[in-house]
Each structure stands twice: as C-alpha cells, then as structure tokens.
Chains A and B, each alone.
Chain A
C-alpha cells in the first residue's frame, strides 16, 4: 500500500512536471533550449506553476520556430519565419503580379480590337477561324450546381464526413472557441513507416532504466507533434485550396502559426506523456490491485492529470488575431 502511494505520488509529479522547471535537473524547456540553440527569457515568475499566458506563448512560439527551422532542414539556428508564414507574402505578391498581367492582357486585347476595326481580310476569308463540325459537337457550360465532384472535393467531403474538423475551411475559419484553450482536432495525415519507427523509438527511449529517457521522450513527442501539426496544417490548406474549383483564395490578416502549432503540440505532447506514464504506472502496480480497482484508480488519475494540465494553462488560448477570413475570387 505504501509503495502504491509512492508510485501515485511519482506519477502525479511527472504529470505536473511542465510546471516545474527544477523537477529533474534540466527542465524540458532547458533540454529543448539545448536542442534548438534558442535561449528563452523566462522573466521572473514568482510561482513555479503560475506562468502567465503571455510568457508561455512566447516560450512556445520561440521553441516552435527553432524546431520547425530544424525540421525543414535549416542548419541556421537563428530565428527564422515559419515556413507557411513565408509563403503568405508570396501569395499576395503573386496576386499583384497576376493583377498586372490581367491589366496588360486587357490593354493588349483592346488595342487588337481597335486594329481589327480597320484591318481588311481577303474576300471570303473573313471568318478564317474554326468552323464547328456540323451538328455533332455541342459544348456544355459547366454549372456550379450540377458539375461533377472533383477528386479533391470528394476527399474533402470524406474528411468532413468522418468527423475530422478541418482547421482551414475556405468558407469560414477554424471552429475554435477562443477561450476554451482546447486544441482543435487536427486533420492528421497518414503516418509513414518512418513516423511509426520514430514513435517506437520514442517509446523505447522512455522506458530506459532510471527514468533517464522520460524528458527526451517528451521532447521527441513534442517534435513529432510539431511536425504533425505542420503537416496537417499544410494538408488542410491544400485540401481547401484544391476543393475551391473557382479560383484562388486570399488570406488576410495576421497569422501567428508558430503560436498555434506550438500550443497544440504542447498540450498534445502533455496528454500523450500523461497517458504513457499512466500506462507504465499500471504495469508497475499490477498485482497490487485487482483489475477493476486498478482501472478505476488509474482512470481517476488520468482524468485528474489532464484536469491539472488544463488548470495550469500551459497553453495559451488562441486569440482572434490569427483567425482570418478567406474570401474567394
């Protein structure tokens, strides 16, 4: 009994480690700092558990930027813009160049029309353009209502049908309540063999004797979740873009993708870690309780741990600043 309480205490401590930088020597944030080469100014928080939302957002965003930079192959440890944020100005530039091209084409066509007012053709060759074949081919106009569904649209409809909420809908922005702090269910992409191998490796690292693998495992999960968030974001964007069969979309406003991705990745990593510890804890205490009692106790423990994470507010609620409306051309 004494031992079971001891393990319970350990598990609770591990579940709240995110709030305690000094729990296991170098904190997770410290380890992440080492990995990414970023140094975070943590300010002077009076309480180990009371990070203000602003601080955590800053920390998470900075770490996320560093990790994303390394994921996308950059060896430069300096802070770089998030990959998607980089492409947003280029979208606007492309649209401006496209607008210029349209104007130039319109001018060219107007000049050509003026030329044709005086231009003389050979008699009988005025209409040298194509004659339609007699009666056999009729072109049908494509209507938005009756047009067959494109493959991309079919995929998008499937995603919605299976209850996966898209983070990027071309009609409205993400379905997230600003104050809930919950992450939205990402449109997770199919894991590759390499991804599964990475998951196995992280699990293996976590079970290293002496608990030395717990922090690296958490860091690994964080990185994977950053990658998954990034990948799912890209997938959402691609699905939304190709499902709009009219034209391009325009994005307006400021989007801090680093914050969004990092916040989601943090809470997901924490949840996964809690679950992993609980599962491992179960193995440790097996034999002390009957199965029924074990499940109830660990269920309570898991729920309590998750509630504790939420109350600590280690993630920052996403603000309206990054919720942007998309408009179709």
Chain B
C-alpha cells in the first residue's frame, strides 16, 4: 500500500500538469480572461472607478468606414469582465447606441495619448486630451488630463498582461527548444500545406487579413513544424499595422530558427516595428 501511494500521487501530478498544458495548447483569443489574476482584477476595479467618476467628462470618437464620428459624451459607461460598454442610447439620432471596447482589442492596438486643439464656431479654442486605442478615441477636456492619464495607465497594464497571456513567449520558448533539439523535423501536414498555399495566394492578391487568418490555422494545427509561418505572419501583421503581433511572431520565428546564419534583416524588422509603436 505504501508503495502505491507515491506512485498514485506522481500520476496525479502528471495528469494535472498535462491538463494545464493542454488547456494552454488549445487556448484561443476568445477564451482569454483578463481577470484571472489579482493584478488584473485590481486594474479592472481602478479603471471602473475612474470611468464611473468621470462619465460626464469623457467623450468618444469612432472611426467608421474611413470617417471619424464624434459621438460625444455617453449617457452611461459600464465595465464588465471582458469589455467596457459606452452607451449613447439617450442621445437623439446617435448612429451607434452602444460601443463596446473588448479587452482583447487592446492586444493588437497601441495606446497613444495626444493633446488636440480645435476652434469651435464662436472662435474659442478648445483643448482636449485624446487617448487613441486603434480606431477608437477617448476624449477629455484638458483640465482633466490626469484622469485620462490614469485610465491610460490602467489600460496599458491590462494590455501588457493580455499580450503576455496571448503571445505566451515563455511557453513557446520551451517548445522552440524542444523543436531545435529534434534531429528529424516533423513534416508539414497536408492540411497545413493547403492553408499555406492559400495564404500565399491571398498575400499576392494583397488580401493580408485573409492570409493572416489562414496562417493562424496553420500554427493551430502544429505550432512548430513550419517556422516560416511565424515569419510570414510577422510580416503580414506589420503590413496591417498590428505591430505587437508582428514583433511577437518574429521573435517566435527567431526562436525556432536560431541556426540561420543571417537573421539580421529579421532583427532589423523588430526594431523598425518597435519604433513604429513609439510614434
């Protein structure tokens, strides 16, 4: 009996480990919850307080079909587990009654603060602070700029956690190490090959988003047997302005192919995208 107990415990340990790894293996964007850690929960709470206290001062501008639409100040702001909801239902003729900012939107869209001066019809100059999140812009009067800075800090923190979770570089490094140690590399699956050919065709047709979609299917089937998928994903992401994804995918490619003699161009691309994020 005493012999079996440690064996049983060991088996249980491995079983639980494999379940956790499987869960990570099959995770996708939708299953990410930003609030599964204490740090994220605190950030969420702080963000909710900021938004609730300053509802009447925060405005929203959305980019829709290459046009900027100023929706003005919402009638209400609600913070949920996976999103922030701006309600304009009380406004007459509002084109969008509700705008949702999902937290996953933060993963590939940078946050940028700026000061904007504009002249209104009576000649007065209005100064505002703008916080741009991809195609959405939060606005606040210059007098309350500290509030928007605080909101940006919360969102930046949440963004960093989400990106860590989504790109999961730590786990990938382990897999890359395992792949590099293999003497015989695993072949490309037939289904993967089909997706790659289709993706390359879409790239040549300048349909980059469709190509990205197909390459994500390739790496979902097997994360390491086709390193070039990460290279092409990185280049396509950079082409579409998703610089966080571009940097992460290029780093993954370099992790899988460190033996290549010349990776200077790929490293230069990472630097180029980092500069794009700062400007």
A residues touching B (Cβ–Cβ < 8 Å)? 108, 111-112, 115, 118-122, 125, 128-129
Contacts and interface: CB of A to CB of B under 8 A. Distances in A.
Contact of A120 (B204, B206, B232, B269): B232
Contacts of A111: 239
9 smallest beta-carbon distances between A and B, as pairs? A120-B228, A115-B235, A115-B239, A122-B196, A121-B200, A119-B235, A120-B231, A118-B235, A119-B232
B20 to A, nearest CB: 33
B200 A118 contact: no
Interface residues of B, number: 18
Contacts of B228: 120
Nearest to B201: A128
A122 B187 CA distance: 12
15 contacts: A111-B239, A115-B203, A115-B235, A115-B236, A115-B239, A118-B231, A118-B269, A119-B232, A120-B231, A121-B200, A122-B193, A122-B197, A125-B197, A128-B197, A128-B200
Given A111-B239, A115-B235, A115-B239, A122 B206 contact: no
A128 B194 CA distance: 13
A125 B196 CA distance: 10
Question: Which residue, B188, B228, B265, B266, has most C-beta atoms of chain A within 10 A?
Answer: B228
Contacts, number: 33
Contacts of A115: 203, 235-236, 239
A119 B203 contact: yes
Contacts of B197: 122, 125, 128
Given A119-B231, A128-B197, 12 more contacts: A108-B206, A112-B239, A118-B231, A118-B266, A119-B203, A120-B228, A120-B231, A120-B232, A122-B193, A122-B196, A125-B197, A128-B201
Interface in B166-200: 188, 193, 196-197, 200
Interface in B223-254: 228, 231-232, 235-236, 239
Given A108-B206, A128-B204, A129-B204, A118 B265 contact: yes
Contacts of B200: 121-122, 125, 128
Question: Which residue, A108, A112, A115, A125, has most C-beta atoms of chain B within 10 A?
Answer: A115
Contacts of A122: 188, 193, 196-197, 200
Contacts of A120: 228, 231-232
Question: Which residue, A111, A122, A129, has most C-beta atoms of chain B within 10 A?
Answer: A122
A229 B200 CA distance: 58
